[in-house]
Amino acid sequence: MKTLGNLLWLILGGLLVAVIYVLVGLLMCITIIGIPFGIQLFKLGSYALWPFGRELVDGPNEPGCVSIVMNLIWVLLGWWEIALIHLFFGLLFCITIIGIPWGVQHLKMALNSLFPFGKEIRDVPEKR
């Protein structure tokens, strides 16, 4: 089911979202100061490419001082707009019953794109 959800996600705009994250991440990596932000955009792009069956969770030593400060800088520099876009599309997809799984993924991405520092991608264990 995860594979089917991910394939439909790619067709319905997930590939476009991931490409945008990667392109903006490359632009951020042009300067030394922008590299940490570019790395976070690559992480979000990887998650946006194949979100079903994976989740962004706090790292083993998180939240730490550095990630808190970097998340604050992230929000102050205007990257919160990414979260608003995901929130909008999450609510839009949740209008229909068929779109609810994709809406939920967008809502998860909205929360994680608001504070991405200190997060890592993990596979969700399958329920038996």
pLDDT, position 19: 92
* Confidence at residue 66, expressed as pLDDT on a 0 to 100 scale: 86
pLDDT digits (tens, 9 = 90+) for 51-65: 888 888 888 877 788
Domain boundaries, the chain: 2-123
Instruction: Please give the pLDDT value at position 119.
Output: 86
Residue (of 70, 84, 76, 85) closest to 40 by Cα position: 70
Residue whose C-alpha is closest to residue 41's, from 70, 66, 3, 12: 70
Q: In the prediction, which pLDDT does 30 show?
A: 94
Element (H, E) at 48: helix 35-49
Low-confidence ranges of the chain (pLDDT < 50): none
User: pTM for this one?
Assistant: 0.85
